[in-house]
Amino acid sequence: MAARELVLKLRDRLNSAYTRTLQRTYYRVFGHQVDQRFVIIGNARTGSNYLLDGLKTSPRIRMYHEIFASHNREVGKDFEKILSTLYQYESKSIELVGCKVFYNHLTDEEWKKLVNLRDFKVIHLTRRNRLRTLISLEIAFKTGKWTHAGNSAESKEKQVALDPQNLLKRLEHIEEGEALTRVRFCDRPVLEVVYEDLVQSPHEVFESVGNYLGVDGIDPDQIRLKQQNPEGLAQLIVNYGEVEAFLKNTRFAEYLVL
């Protein structure tokens, strides 16, 4: 990285930190502490960015991102410190504060702590076609593009190869994360949101989300993000024939036609 680019990047970070400090000082004086919080729980590449983008259109909601992820901290450390972010003073217009947490963002002990926070509402985000979840993840790692608000990458640029021998274990791992989440929060109301329903019927799904959270003003028409990988599986998987042959006699065969 050139010296000038490094200086500009450092300056931007300092400006951002300064702005956040001023904002927090203002909120401590003129803001308030929010009583209600929520968390979106799921696996990566199940539409969480799309869901967050929609929730942020409401002037009543303050959304934080993946605050517990490994790129923001060392997993297993500073849980309480990071959690305090959701208890900061906010603008008086804010009624609800939320963040998203993937299955691998917390340790078992941290999950126990989160479950014990009774002031949190829970949205569980899943995707029916778990194979597409894995494909989307591989494409994101390959292209470095985790969201899509403009022109999508070309199909050839997005093509990935999947290891059939490891595929069942990865699909089962997603299933286990979903099942464990339902067990952890079995004693409270949880809103289940499915990716396919979210992108096909956004107005209906966001209406149910708003009702569950008790807030209004969510406008799906303002969402900038688009579906990143709408192509058929054969266009996205380089070794599709091998993957198809491996999955067709398993209980995951339905993913090939969904």
The 10s digit of each residue's pLDDT in 61-109 is: 999 999 999 999 999 999 999 999 999 999 999 999 999 999 999 999 9
- Domain count across the chain: 1
Average pLDDT over residues 130-151: 86
The CATH number assigned to the domain holding 170 equals 3.40.50
Whether residue 60 is predicted with pLDDT greater than 90 in this model: the reply is yes
Q: Domain for residue 17, yes or no?
A: no
Q: Domain for residue 21, yes or no?
A: no
Average pLDDT over residues 135-147: 90
CB atoms inside a 10 Å sphere around CB 23: 13
Q: How far is CA 4 from CA 1, 13, 15, in A?
A: 8, 14, 16
Q: Is 217 helix (H, G, I), strand (E, B) or coil?
A: coil
Q: Domain for residue 7, yes or no?
A: no
pLDDT value of residue 18: 42
pLDDT value of residue 14: 44
Whether residue 9 is predicted with pLDDT greater than 80 in this model: the reply is no
Alpha helices (H) along the chain: 3-30, 48-55, 79-83, 108-115, 130-143, 155-158, 164-184, 195-200, 202-213, 233-236, 240-247
pTM above 0.75, yes or no: yes
